[in-house]
Each structure stands twice: as structure tokens, then as C-alpha cells.
Amino acid sequence: MGFLFTSESVSEGHPDKVADQISDALLDTLLAYDPDSKVAIETLVTTGQVIIAGEVKTQTYIDVQREARDVIARIGYTKAEYQFDSDSCGILTAIHEQSPDINRGVDREDRENQGAGDQGMMFGYACKETDDFMPLPLELSHRLLLELAEVRREGKEMTYLRPDSKSQVTIEYNEENEPLRVHTIVVSTQHDDFDNDDERMLAKIKDDVRKILIPRTVAKLPERLKELFDDQYILHVNPTGKFVIGGPNGDTGLTGRKIIVDTYGGKGAHGGGAFSGKDPSKVDRSAAYAARHIAKNLVAADVADEMLVQLAYAIGVAQPVNIYVNTYGRSNVDLSDSEIAEKIREIFDLRPFAIEKRLKLRNPIYEETAAYGHMGRTPRTVVKNFESPYSGKLEREVELFTWEKLDYVEKIKEHFKLK
């Protein structure tokens, strides 16, 4: 018997994602001017207010208020009627120095043996449902909201759109764990008021989602995914009937509260640690990226059709305390999952410094991760510009989403003796 599986996504204008983007923008600017910065920044956003707190150890200074306002403006909160806008919101900063008790376990004279910034377990996952080795329900949820944001920015159709939105996709699978069809789509989007004509408003938005948003999204999919859309899927649009009050005015946002959206949509597993606002000495972030890099490359090398990789660390200790692999009975090699885990240990150096170096994580690459998922994104090289009233202007060329590169496939095939 088959089954249904559901994942959700949220837009860049969702209050939790506003908080994530502010935290990661501050991290990027600190790393741009001082790559050795140690950063753990949390952000809270609510009606007319931004509160930024955390611990930082750095040799540079940045304009925290300016950085936060720039992020809010880029997202689209630029109107006073939203009750949260980039020009007038209050910003309270409570950032202090990193605890020396933590730092002593991380910084070492031999940098290659720097310790993990905290204990914990991190997971990476990959499967063959999509071309980027991500679970299909989450992939489609992200794509719907990316397209919705593009429609909003174009300003030609659905001109009533505001920045906050959510999506959810349910996929029907067969007994072999293969996707059969799109079963249900949910889209909730913030919008302008329609002069209190709620019935007309809801009908218009639902019609536009069905006739504009979904066709535009489907048109950009590979053919094998387009075939999963039929005329029988269930569609829910703004199920409460109205979504005018949204963003931080409608719901308080916090850094790190959308960790399942950030990763695999509930497939695989999650260790519980958030990513945004943390420099790569925090293995919550860097080891999660490393685990995804491992899982994706092993699945791409056809070691298995689906794979979960767990890494775990002790604070101040360089080597992981364990590596765990689960192939869900879908391995393509004559090895146990524990034997695959041992080969991973042989192929990949999983000390925190080695992860930072291999994936180029001490670069300002993080604001782009803070909406629409940290995993399954397209690796690319971009030029980013930074400006500090204390250190002047800076231009940096950086690689984004390095953990998504398929750069270990041939090495893995050789190690596993695969053709």
C-alpha cells in the first residue's frame, strides 16, 4: 500500500525567515572583514521592533542597525502600513563577547585540530527523487514560494501580494517509495486588503494561484516532475479566508525556528541545532553541511538510492565521536551500513577545521542560505559587496552552497570500486 508525505516551506518575508536573514547578513559582514570571527547571533522581530542579541569575538566593527535595515528593505517590508518597515522599525542590540570558556575549546595553536564549538549530532540526507537529490515535497514547496516572490517583485501580476507566505505540498508515493502524483497543494499568501470584500478577494487569489503561480512553477520543472501534476490535485489557498496582517506584525519571528524547512522537510532526520547566525566553528552548521555533502555525493555515485548520514561531536574535540549511516535497505553495494560509515571516515576528513577548509566556510556566504533552504541549492560563484563606516568598502568573490557540489563522486566510486 502506498502512502502520503507532506513538507512545507516559508517565504523570505515570513517572520522567522526575516530573523534568519538578519542574523546571517550580520555574520557575512563580520566574516567579510575578519574571516576568523566567532559569531552566534540571534534575532527577534515583532511589530515595529527588531532585537538582536548574541556573542561575537572579532577584530572588526560593523553598523548593526544599517545591516538589519538593508535586509528588511530587500525582503520588501518598506511600507508603514505593514506595521514593520525598514525605515521606522526600532532596533535594539545586545551583543557581547564570546565566552572564553567556549573559545578555549575551539581555538588551538594547531588550527587543523581546532575543537568542535559544541556537542551535538548533525544529519545529512540525499535521495534520487529530484535532480538535486532532495525530497520532492520540500523541493516543490520551495519552488512555489520562489516563484511567488518573483511574481511579487515583477509587479505585473498578482499585484496585491505582500512579502509573507507559506506553502505545503503532499506527494502520493507507491509501495516502492516512488512518487506517483501531487496530491495536495496549500498556499497561504499575505495580501493587500480588498476593501473588505473577503469573498471576492479569496476567489481572486485562489484563481491566480491556480492559473498563474502553479503553471509558472510547473513550467520550470524537469519533465519527469511535470508529469506528477494532474487535474485532480487538491488546492487550498488562504484557508482562513484572509491574510492581510502578516510578517512580524502578525507573528513574532525568531532565528532558527524553521530548521525543518531549512533542511529536508521532515525526511531523514534533524539533530535539532539551528544554522543561521552561527560561524562555521559551530558544528551545528558546518557538520550539517558536511553530512549533506557526503550523503549527496554517495547517492550521486550510486552507493545507495537514499542515504542518511549522522555525525556527532563533543565540544572541544576535533574528531567526530561517531559516524552513522542508514541506507533504508536501498544500498547498491555489498557492504553493511556500518561498513559504508567506515569508508566515509577514510574518504572525508571530518575535523571542524578540515570541513571549514574543504567547503570554504570562512567566507561571507550565508545570507543566501537563510531563505528557501540550505540544502538542494545550486552552487555558484558570485561577487558580494560590503560597506562599513569603520573599514570602508569591500568586494569579495565567493562560492555559494559548496556543500552541494558533486566533487567527490569519482573519488567515492574509486574507493567503493564502482564503475
Annotated binding site: 14, 16, 42, 55, 98, 164-166, 242-243, 251, 257-258, 274, 278, 282
| Cβ-proximal residues to 44 (8 Å cutoff; 6+ apart), any chain | 19, 50, 51, 52, 53, 252, 253, 254, 255
Asked if residue 19 lies in contact with residue 255, where contact means CB atoms within 8 angstroms, the answer is yes
95 bridge partner residues: 54
Which residues are part of a known binding site for Mg(2+)?
16
Among residues 92, 63, 112, the alpha carbon closest in space to that of 391 is found at: 63
The annotation places the binding site for ATP at 14, 164-166, 242-243, 251, 257-258, 274, 278
Burial classification of residue 105, based on how many CB atoms lie within 10 Å of its CB (0-12 exposed, 13-18 middle, 19 or more buried):
middle
Tell me the binding residues for L-methionine: 55, 98, 251, 282
Q: Which of 86, 71, 177, 167 is nearest to 127 (CA)?
A: 177
- Cell digits of residue 242: 484572509
Amino acid at 11: S
Contact 265/138 with Cβ under 8 angstroms?
Answer: yes
Closest among 419, 334, 412, 404 to 130, alpha carbons compared:
404
- Sheet with 3-10: list strands edge to edge: 3-10, 161-173, 179-191, 234-237
Burial of 329 (0-12, 13-18, 19+ CB in 10 A): exposed
- Retrieve residue 290's grid coordinates: 558536511
Measured CA to CA, the distance from residue 290 to residue 124 in angstroms comes to 7
Which residue ranges are tagged as binding site for K(+)? 42
- Whether the CB-CB separation of 60 and 394 falls below 8 Å is answered with no
